[in-house]
Amino acid sequence: MNGVKLTQLGIKDSRDLLNKKEISATELTNAYIQNIEESSKLNAFIETTFDKALTQASKADKIIGTDSQKSLCGIPLGIKDLFCCKNVKTQAASDILENFIPPYESTVTQKLWSEQAIMLGKLNMDEFAMGSSNETSTYGPVINPWKSTSSDDSLTPGGSSGGSSAAVAANLCTGATGTDTGGSIRQPASFTGTVGLKPTYGRCSRWGIIAFASSFDQAGPITKNVTDSAIMLKAMSGFDPLDSTSAKIDVPDYEQELGKDIKGLRVGLAKEYSLQNGDSEATKKLEESIKILKNMGAEIVEVSLPHTEFALPTYYVLAPAEASSNLARYDGVRYGHRAKLDTNDSILELYEKTRSEGFGTEVKRRILIGTYVLSSGYYDAYYKRAQKVRSLIKNDFDEVFKKVDIILTPTTPTSAFPLGSKGTQDPVEMYMNDIFTVPANLAGLPALSLPVGLDELGLPLGVQLIGNNWQEPLLLNTAFNLENTLAFENNPKKWWA
């Protein structure tokens, strides 16, 4: 293996070695199991399914090299706890789903298993995917494998898919599923030096993914590199009759699209997405990416998305409104937590006590604000108005995509921050983290975060590529070209084992 550990390889390289029979799926799975067992300090995995993994691996070893072999045969993956997996405890990192065992499998995970991938277990996340730092999880926060060169503070791996991003960065799985409602795949990817892709709304089925804000939620992969993202996205995508918003559009072979020339590609730079500190390493890395694209023959075009400043306020009306409706189902009657009741308590007390005990502070806050903006007398001023502003934000993108093929922005305003350092006094401070990622969710557009290097503190930085609807092939190919030149290595110092 020339000094490279098996678990550093990722999806494509593992697949190639499996195909050449240089390694077995069982050997690969055992290597990941060992890494996971040594990683309790990271708090990334909250439920492991090692017996299932080894059974799947043994099956894969019999299939590899035969006609029955599928695209992910023998590839060990981690699954965000938002995906229902049949007979595997699934709680969306919430107490209200205490010991919930789904009697069915989500479409996306079923697709992965149908492609013969191996399930290592469930990954930690913010409660119901509401958070940007992983600190709202009932299991406690995930710790970022990366540390600053100037302090020993535990850093956030981002959120809400922080377990997924940390697990991929720390070599606990070849790749992981995430979901992205306002940046929950891209921001954690940016904070951990991994590749995170939020597909076009409708690309992946939402069936069996515990709902947060249904008109925003999309599943996508978090991986070590762009090729792995392409491979995993193909397996996750496709029409599903069980999700009426999933699209009847063919799924391309994304991997085949990689490596194409990007000469003549029109890349937009939006002035509304600028970083505050012009001298920072983050700005330099962004400029370096622009230079690389220019050298490859891309045309750089200044563009404007004038309603960007309204994106976060729009999101924080609409997403909580949808959440308040989606989370109404947690009533203590059929599954999950049920409050202990006093003798004379009615069904109203059952609902109120259960929900009060089961939901965490941030989730309650969002249900309450969502209920408020939907309530009589306030609906027009908040919800209806925000739906109209959402149209204006989408129109901005429609106009820009007449002039450019792709938009390049920073993924986040900063690199990973210390746990406990944001949003403790003011919830809006945490919301500001999603400033560059939320617009793509409002418009339903695909967007990818690619690691571009390290900042002054030695922490990973990401750039975001936003494409028009169904332009995942273009996003992936542009990212692939950038990745080859940047040659970023994701190798955080292994302090946790």
Partner 1 sequence: MEIDTETVLKIARLSRIRINEGESADIQKDLNRIVEFVKKLGEINIDGIDEFNFGKTNIEDMRKDSVTIYDNTDDILKNTKNKNQDFFTVPKIVE
148 binds partner 1 (CB under 8 A): no
Phi, psi (deg, nearest 5) at residue 353:
-70, -45
Q: Which of 54, 269, 275, 350 binds partner 1 (CB under 8 A)?
A: 350
* Touching partner 1, residues 240-279 (CB under 8 A): 241, 244-248
356 binds partner 1 (CB under 8 A): yes
Q: How many helices (H) and strands (E) does the chain have?
A: 15, 11
Least spacing, CB of residue 85 vs partner 1, in Å = 13
Helix (H) or strand (E) holding 19: helix 10-19
Least spacing, CB of residue 241 vs partner 1, in Å = 5
Least spacing, CB of residue 102 vs partner 1, in Å = 9
Question: Quick check: 92 and 108 in contact, CB under 8 A?
Answer: no
Residue 80 catalytic?
Answer: yes
**Angle in degrees, CA 219, 397, 403, rounded to 5:** 125
Looking at the Cβ atoms of 48 and 387, the one nearer to partner 1 is 387
* Touching partner 1, residues 420-449 (CB under 8 A): 426-428, 431, 442, 444
Question: Quick check: 229 and 476 in contact, CB under 8 A?
Answer: yes
Q: 49-68 mask for partner 1 (x: CB under 8 A)? A: --------------------
Q: 290-309 mask for partner 1 (x: CB under 8 A)? A: -----------------x-x
Q: Which of 109, 136, 314, 409 binds partner 1 (CB under 8 A)?
A: 314
Q: Which of 214, 215, 283, 304 binds partner 1 (CB under 8 A)?
A: 215
Q: Which of 25, 317, 319, 450 binds partner 1 (CB under 8 A)?
A: 317
| Dihedral angle of Cα 8, 466, 159, 195, to the nearest 10 degrees | 0
Those residues whose C-beta lies under 8 Å from the C-beta of residue 119, and which sit 6 or more positions away, are 49, 52, 53, 56, 76, 77, 79, 85, 88, 109, 112, 113
- 3-class state of residue 268 by DSSP: strand
Residue 160 catalytic?
Answer: yes
Whole-angstrom distance between the N-terminal and C-terminal Cα of the chain? 22
353 binds partner 1 (CB under 8 A): yes
CA distance 176 to 209: 15
CA distance 167 to 143: 10
Phi, psi (deg, nearest 5) at residue 40:
-60, -30
Query: Of 87, 84, 61, whose CA–CA distance to 74 is shortest?
Result: 61
- Render 24-52 in DSSP notation, one character per residue: -HHHHHHHHHHHHHT-GGG--EEEE-HHH
Least spacing, CB of residue 290 vs partner 1, in Å = 30
Catalytic residue (choose from 94, 160, 415, 449): 160
Catalytic residue (choose from 106, 184, 229, 415): 184
Question: Quick check: 440 and 406 in contact, CB under 8 A?
Answer: no
Q: Which of 367, 408, 430, 476 binds partner 1 (CB under 8 A)?
A: 367
Catalytic residue (choose from 12, 80, 285, 422): 80
* Touching partner 1, residues 79-108 (CB under 8 A): 99-101, 103
Q: 454-493 mask for partner 1 (x: CB under 8 A)? A: ---------------x------------------------
Least spacing, CB of residue 410 vs partner 1, in Å = 22
Least spacing, CB of residue 325 vs partner 1, in Å = 11
Residue 324 catalytic?
Answer: no
- 3-class state of residue 244 by DSSP: coil
The one-letter code for the residue type at 95 is D
Q: Which of 128, 216, 316, 480 binds partner 1 (CB under 8 A)?
A: 316
Helix (H) or strand (E) holding 163: helix 162-169
Q: Which of 26, 288, 290, 310 binds partner 1 (CB under 8 A)?
A: 310
Q: What number of chain residues touch partner 1 (CB under 8 A)?
A: 71
* Touching partner 1, residues 373-412 (CB under 8 A): 373, 375, 381-382, 384-392, 394
* Touching partner 1, residues 183-202 (CB under 8 A): 201-202
413 binds partner 1 (CB under 8 A): no
| Dihedral angle of Cα 222, 226, 230, 231, to the nearest 10 degrees | -80
Least spacing, CB of residue 222 vs partner 1, in Å = 24
DSSP 8-state assignment for residue 437: T
340 binds partner 1 (CB under 8 A): no
Least spacing, CB of residue 266 vs partner 1, in Å = 23
- Residues belonging to the active site: 80, 160, 184
